[in-house]
Amino acid sequence: MTVVCSSSAAEALPIVRLKPKANARALRRGFPWVYANELVTDRRTKALAPGTPAVLQDDARRPLGLVGVNPRSKIIARMLDTRPTAVLDQIWFEVRLARALALRAQLFDKPYYRLVHAEADGLPGVIIDRFGDLCVIQPNAAWAERLLDPLTAALQSVTGVQTVLKNASGRTRGLEGLDDQSGGLAGEMPDGPLPVPMNGATYMADVTGGQKTGLFFDQRPNHAFAGGLARGARVLDVFSHVGGFSLAALAAGAERALAVDASQTALDLAQAGAAAMQAEGRFATRQGDAFDVLTALGAEGAQFDLVICDPPAFAPSRPALDAGLRAYERIARLAAPLVAENGILGLCSCSHAADLTAFRGACVRGIGRVGRRATLIHTGFAGPDHPQLPQLAESGYLKSLFFRV
């Protein structure tokens, strides 16, 4: 299916041009972003409305493709199509969504997954999570916000879902100068949390008011790995959200599980998930700051066979890297004493600024500083419904390390 426009339409698009020292070769090889210091930002370019489609040229005026421009963002242009004559209409979206859906249909037998993982699925800045007959879109780039109507129509056409919601939370939209107004785009809003089956467990996803889109699908394979270690175990799940690791452990036969989170609302959803699994008798929650709760559990002499810590991004950007690594080290230092002899400690990071080597080093330092010794038995990443774009390191953000302590 070819999506092109007439030459007159193509000529009507604004043109933006790289500076002579910009890396046009990287763009030709698949890097999807142009930073503000790489683009000629004359008065005409600065006047473009956020999300405006434009033809990107190199410094020799050779076309590189069609981009979405946002003069308010440090990522001033995002590559949308290598064909400068492409038309960003419903058909254009349908082609990309159909390709994304075909992969997920190969991977999963039930429609609960990340359907679109931004740049890696050809839709820069766009996240779409699917919950059966409902999808949640996070349009984290101005070009996608501008084209929400054809995106929504294409999503319904390709998947057949009835309800589409917009989630406008998150740091990225603020960096794009976008609002934080979430709401419905199509169909009826759900009247409560949605049950989501995953790894034998049942999770309750608040798709209208929860964190992100309501559930974190990225940890699915790591939940499964931890579950394989959990039979008969005492489990501690810190930064549990709606019970990610703890409910997977209970489904796999854990003796008991304790979920810790700062949000009582998230813990209530975790409790509802445990009840749906008929595992509420083996499940408990503890609300509070994770660092404080870990400290208190240590003072109580608590011991667990499996301890998992899955915190939010402590290093969301390079300027926050040093502080973030210190926080990861502190988590490891507080969690390691809670692991019974020959037990398992799982430590996770969703900070793209902290690469695997740096994160692993922080974890090892934290474990060592409380006199424990550990061997690394498994390194996990996001599931295959979160594909990585090889040219974009940020798309491989999730790391999960499992140590035998």
Q: Could you tell me the CA-to-CA distances from 29 to 56, 163, 210, 316 in Å, in that order?
A: 15, 37, 38, 26
The residue type of 375 is T
- Distance between CA atoms of 325 and 112, rounded to whole angstroms? 33
Q: Which two tokens stand for residue 207?
A: 């798709």
Q: Which two tokens stand for residue 260?
A: 């810790």
Question: What strand order describes the sheet that includes 163-166?
Answer: 112-117, 126-131, 134-139, 163-166, 183-186
350 in active site: yes
Number of H helices, E strands in the chain: 13, 19
Exposure on the CB side of residue 258, measured as CA atoms within 13 A: 18
* φ, ψ for residue 163, nearest 5 deg: -115, 130
| Catalytic member of 5, 309, 348, 350 | 350
* φ, ψ for residue 34, nearest 5 deg: -120, 125
Q: How, if at all, do strands 75-81 and 134-139 pair?
A: unpaired
Are 134 and 163 contacting, i.e. CB atoms less than 8 angstroms apart? yes
* φ, ψ for residue 213, nearest 5 deg: -90, 0
Which stretches of 133-273 are assigned E, i.e. beta strand? 134-139, 163-166, 183-186, 194-198, 201-205, 234-238, 256-261
- Distance between CA atoms of 223 and 245, rounded to whole angstroms? 5
Q: How, if at all, do strands 15-17 and 52-57 pair?
A: parallel
- Give the residue numbers marked as catalytic: 350
